[in-house]
């Protein structure tokens, strides 16, 4: 796992890096937008300030995936229904597909890339690996971001409670039992909130 | 999505489309159901605050669904509000969606949300494909020959059972409080008009009276899966019972009408009645009086009746049933 991750990330960074050159048009926006809808924003993501010129329609999800090299956050439905795009804003979990990037200025955004400390996985990431909480892995970044927030919110009393409070994250592979086991494991090893 | 200008609330000459949590607005804009040139950001407006007194609960329009649902005073004095919110959407959406935005969520009618179809609400006069089409989720009460869409939100159903009001500030200043029952408009032959809001009106607060009935209120939601789905039918009840007699009753239905549906006849029948199963079943039947099915939604009539009866039973004899995890 630890061997594969950096390799995959390096490849993705190289590809994504090309699309953030300023004079390359964003492929999401086919026609040139009227100039008054062009903005210049600085977003604080995983502790770093990232400044980019954007089009006002850009969602936080598009900003992360297309304007920066942060492709860990996934686009599933683009309509708020699947949770693949879950990130934290000021510590609260939200869906980035229904969030305008321009409205995130002055807030702290945390993505899946912001969880690990260098090569040391966040306990929730480690638990997903240990419990085999994924199959194809597409929903996993969103599941992990949601799960980290869930434990902080304290809704882990029973497995049913975990399932209810994870209901915003769908998994087409049906890895649910192992996802619940991973969250249960982390919750049981997290001191209760004060 | 049509390009737009994003401007702060209070900007002179600002447009009349507001963004609060953005969870419905962005879906509608992405699907080209609406295409505003200007979007006014309410984030900087001072529309927050949750205050509970012995007289009333005041909810700032920009308070999130998650914060209101978790608020200890709300849970104690107006439990159906907390229940309705916790049974809405997902934890992520509840962290984003706001009180004002939830009141104004547009219908989930699939034809309305897909511009490939005609729709009287989106394009007045173009027709309503739902009437002879996919109408399993559509209205059985309050519909018209031009539109049979339902209002999809849960929270206003709880508000309706408790006699809440909406505080509105007009574009030129001046605030008024409108009873929620007068806030929504039935479709008639103008389904594009859904509320009494005028261009530029901002919802600032929601005001809910305190009462013994509100303290015992219950929200019951029936849906296709056990979580993260819209109501096929729901019921909010707020009743006060003394010595097994019903002193006060507020009842509203959700998911079955173009607006949260107050069941006034069922309320009246309960006042003075003995709080027993027979009275609650009778109230369930009265609550759907005049219901008319469009076809695939015929099952909703019995479903709504039973939701009312069960909610009343639960309010009279609390069990763990409506306890939201
Ligand atoms: C996948 C999914 C599932 C959902 N499931 C449910 C569910 O089960 N039950 C449920 O009730 N809801 C559900 N919702 C809907 C969600 O609760 C609403 O989208 C949300 O409450 C809207 O609030 P908002 O602040 O995001 O509104 P916005 O999207 O910001 O605004 C919605 C509308 O209200 C207007 N507006 C907002 N605030 C004001 C104000 N203060 N004054 C005047 N106008 C205003 C906006 O201009 C816009 O027209 C679901 C949503 C999604 C995406
Ligand atoms: S039911 Fe109403 S919203 Fe749905 S297609 Fe008919 S007119 Fe449009
Ligand atoms: S991509 Fe955002 S919820 Fe599905
Ligand atoms: S692991 Fe494949 S979608 Fe969840």
CA distance A74 to A83: 9
Question: Could you tell me the distance, in angstroms and rounded to a whole number, from the CA of residue B321 to the centre of ligand 4?
Answer: 32
Cβ atoms of B134 and B108 within 8 Å: the answer is no
Task: Considering only the beta carbons, identify the residue of B6, B22, B227 that sits closest to A164.
Answer: B227
For ligand 4, say whether the CB of A162 is within 6 Å of any of its atoms.
no
As a CATH number, domain B48-209 is 3.30.465.10
Contacts of B27 (CB under 8 A, 6+ apart): A79, A80, A98, B113
Q: Which two tokens mark B261? A: 């549906």
Given the CA of residue B168, which atom of ligand 1 is nearest to it?
42
How far is the C-alpha of A64 from the C-alpha of A75, rounded, in Å? 11
Based on the fold, state whether residues A17 and A91 are members of the same structural domain. Answer: yes
Q: What is the pLDDT of residue A194?
A: 41
The answer to whether residue A135 is domain-embedded is yes
Contact flag B27-A55 (C-beta cutoff 8 Å):
no
> For residue B47, is pLDDT > 70?
yes
Measured CA to CA in angstroms, residue A139 lies from A192, B250, B264, B301, B324 at distances of 27, 43, 46, 38, 26
pTM attached to this predicted model: 0.93
A138 with A93, same domain?
A: no
What CATH number is associated with residue A155?
Answer: 1.10.150.120
Helices B277-287 and B299-316: crossing angle in degrees, nearest 10, is 140
> Inter-chain contact A95–B96, Cβ cutoff 8 Å?
yes
Q: Give CA–CA dist B285/B44, Å, rounded.
A: 46
Cα B125 to ligand 2 centroid, rounded to whole Å: 11
Question: What is the residue range of A141's domain?
Answer: 123-188
B85-B91-B93-B98 Cα dihedral, nearest 10 degrees: 40
Model pLDDT, residue A19:
37
Cα–Cα distance for residue pair B285/B314, rounded to 1 Å = 17
CB of B322 closer than 6 angstroms to any ligand 1 atom: no
Q: Give the number of C-alpha atoms closer than 13 A to the C-alpha of residue A77, restricted to the C-beta side.
A: 16
Contact B19 CB / ligand 1 (< 6 Å): yes
Measured between CB atoms, which of B22, B93, B227 is closest to A100?
Answer: B22
Q: Nearest CB to A37: which of B4, B27, B91? A: B4
Instruction: List the end-to-end C-alpha distance of chain A, in Å, as a whole number.
Output: 35
| CATH classification for the domain delimited by B213-316, as one of 3.40.630.40, 3.40.50.300, 3.30.1360.20, 3.30.390.50 | 3.30.390.50
Cβ-Cβ contacts under 8 Å, B93 against chain A? 80, 95, 98, 168
Q: Give the C-alpha separation, B163 to B56, whole Å.
A: 11
Nearest CA in chain A to B67: A92
The rounded Å distance from CA A138 to ligand 4 centre is 5
pLDDT tens digits for range A15-56? 333 333 333 334 434 444 444 689 999 999 999 999 999 999
Instruction: Please give the pLDDT value at position A37.
Output: 82
The CATH code of the domain that includes A27 is 3.10.20.30
Same-domain pairing of A154 and A179:
yes
Q: Which of A55, A88, A114 is the last residue of a domain?
A: A114
In this predicted structure, what is the pLDDT of residue B48?
97
Residue A2 lies in a domain: no
Residue B305: per-residue pLDDT: 98
* CB B149 near ligand 2, within 6 Å: yes
Q: What is the distance between the alpha carbons of residues B289 and A117, in angstroms, rounded to a whole number?
A: 62
With a cut of 70, say whether residue A8 has pLDDT above it.
Answer: no
Nearest-CA distance from B240 to chain A in Å?
Answer: 30
Q: Is A81 in the pocket of ligand 1 (CB under 6 A)?
A: yes
User: A68, A85, A114 — which closes off a domain?
Assistant: A114
Closest chain A residue to the Cα of B28, Cα to Cα: A79
Question: What confidence score (pLDDT) does residue A22 get?
Answer: 34
Percentage above 90 pLDDT, chain B: 94
**Greatest Cα-to-Cα distance within chain A, rounded to the nearest angstrom:** 53
At residue B13, does pLDDT exceed 70? yes
Instruction: Give B102 or A69, the one with higher predicted confidence.
Output: B102
Using 50, 70 and 90 to split pLDDT, how confident is the model at B320? low
User: Chain B contact for A63, CB < 8 A?
Assistant: no
Q: Looking at the 3D structure of chain A, how many domains does it have?
A: 2
Whether B91 sits inside 8 A of A161 (CB atoms) is no
- Enter the ipTM: 0.95
- A191 pLDDT band (50/70/90 cuts)? confident
The rounded percent of chain B whose pLDDT value lies above 70 is 98
Tens digits of residue pLDDT in A124-141: 999 999 999 999 999 999
Q: Where are the domains of chain B?
A: 48-209, 213-316
CB contact under 8 A, B92 and A86: yes
> Over the stretch A141-170, which tens digit does the pLDDT of each residue have?
999 999 999 999 999 999 999 999 999 999
Domain boundary pick from A63, A94, A114: A114
B100-156 per-position pLDDT tens digit = 999 999 999 999 999 999 999 999 999 999 999 999 999 999 999 999 999 999 999
- Report DSSP letters for A105-170, one per residue: TTSEEE-GGGTSBTTBPPHHHHHHHHTT--SS-SSHHHHHHHHHHHHHHT--SSHHHHHHHTTT--
Q: Is residue A172 part of a domain?
A: yes
Candidates B30, B43, B66; nearest CB to A103: B43
Q: How many CA atoms lie within 13 A of B83 on its CB side?
A: 30
Taking CB atoms within 8 Å and a gap of at least 24, the contacts of B6-11 are B6/A39, B6/A56, B6/A100, B6/A102, B6/A103, B6/B39, B6/B41, B7/B38, B7/B39, B7/B40, B7/B41, B8/B40, B8/B41, B8/B44, B9/B40, B9/B41, B9/B42, B9/B43, B9/B44, B9/B45, B9/B202, B10/B44, B10/B45, B11/B40
Interface check A2 vs B, CB under 8 A: no
Contact present, A146 and A156 (Cβ < 8 Å)? no
Task: Let me know whether A134 and A153 are in one domain.
Answer: yes
CB of B102 closer than 6 angstroms to any ligand 1 atom: yes
First-to-last C-alpha distance (Å) of chain B:
37
Q: Where are the beta strands (DSSP E) in chain B?
A: 5-8, 18-19, 38-41, 50-52, 56-60, 165-169, 175-179, 202-209, 218-222, 233-242, 245-254, 261-262
Closest B-chain CA to A85: B92
Q: How far is the CA of A142 from the centre of ligand 3 (A)?
A: 9
The model's pLDDT over A73-92, given as tens digits with 9 standing for 90+, comes to 999 999 999 999 999 999 99
Where are the alpha helices (H) located in B150-296, listed in sequence order?
Answer: 155-161, 180-183, 212-215, 264-270, 277-287
Å between A151 CA and nearest CA of chain B: 13
What's the A170 CA to ligand 4 centre distance in angstroms? 8
Q: What digits encode the pLDDT tens for the residues B72-93?
A: 999 999 999 999 999 999 999 9
Q: How far is the CA of B214 from the centre of ligand 2 (A)?
A: 34
Please determine, for residue B59, whether its predicted confidence score (pLDDT) is greater than 80: yes
Question: Is residue A169 in a domain?
Answer: yes
């Amino acid at each position: 796992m630890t061997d594969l991750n950096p390799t995959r990330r390096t490849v993705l960074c190289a590809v994504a890096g090309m699309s953030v050159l300023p004079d390359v048009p964003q492929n999401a926006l086919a026609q040139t937008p009227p100039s008054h809808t062009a903005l210049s924003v600085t977003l604080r993501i995983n502790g770093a300030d990232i400044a980019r010129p954007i089009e006002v329609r850009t969602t936080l999800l598009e900003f992360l995936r297309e304007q920066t090299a942060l492709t860990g956050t996934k686009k599933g439905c683009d309509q708020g229904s699947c949770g693949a795009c879950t990130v934290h804003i000021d510590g609260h979990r939200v869906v980035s597909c229904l969030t305008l990037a321009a409205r995130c200025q002055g807030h702290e955004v945390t993505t899946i890339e912001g969880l690990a400390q260098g090569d040391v996985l966040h306990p929730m990431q480690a638990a997903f690996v240990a419990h085999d909480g994924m199959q194809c892995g597409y929903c996993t970044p969103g599941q992990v971001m949601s799960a980290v927030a869930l434990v902080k919110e304290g809704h882990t009393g029973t497995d049913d409670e975990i399932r209810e409070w994870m209901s915003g994250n769908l998994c087409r592979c049906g890895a649910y039992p192992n996802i619940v086991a991973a969250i249960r494991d982390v919750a049981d090893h997290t001191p209760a909130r004060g | 999505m049509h390009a737009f200008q994003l401007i702060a609330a209070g900007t002179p000459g600002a447009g009349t489309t507001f963004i609060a949590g953005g969870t419905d607005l962005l879906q509608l804009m992405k699907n080209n159901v609406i295409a505003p040139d200007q979007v006014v950001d309410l984030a900087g407006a001072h529309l927050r605050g949750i205050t509970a007194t012995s007289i009333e609960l005041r909810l700032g329009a920009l308070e999130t669904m998650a914060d209101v649902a978790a608020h200890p005073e709300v849970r104690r004095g107006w439990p159906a509000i907390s229940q309705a919110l916790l049974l809405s959407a997902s934890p992520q959406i509840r962290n984003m969606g706001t009180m004002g935005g939830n009141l104004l969520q547009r219908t989930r009618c699939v034809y309305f949300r897909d511009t490939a179809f005609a729709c009287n609400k989106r394009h007045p006069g173009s027709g309503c494909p739902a009437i002879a089409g996919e109408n399993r989720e559509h209205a059985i009460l309050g519909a018209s020959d031009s539109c049979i869409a339902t209002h999809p939100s849960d929270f206003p159903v709880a508000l309706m059972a408790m006699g809440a009001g909406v505080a509105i500030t007009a574009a030129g200043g001046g605030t008024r409080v409108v009873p929620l029952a007068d806030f929504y408009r039935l479709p008639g032959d103008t389904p594009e008009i859904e509320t009494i809001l005028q261009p530029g009106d901002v919802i600032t607060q929601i005001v809910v009276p305190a009462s013994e009935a509100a303290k015992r209120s219950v929200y019951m939601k029936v849906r296709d899966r056990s979580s993260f789905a819209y109501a096929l039918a729901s019921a909010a009840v707020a009743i006060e019972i003394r010595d097994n007699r019903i002193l006060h009753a507020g009842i509203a239905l959700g998911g079955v009408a173009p607006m949260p549906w107050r069941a006034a006849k069922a309320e009246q029948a309960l006042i003075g009645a003995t709080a027993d199963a027979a009275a609650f079943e009778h109230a369930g039947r009265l609550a759907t009086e005049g219901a008319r099915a469009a076809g695939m939604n015929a099952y909703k009539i019995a479903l709504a009746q039973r939701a009312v009866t069960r909610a009343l039973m639960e309010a009279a004899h609390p069990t763990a049933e409506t306890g939201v995890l």
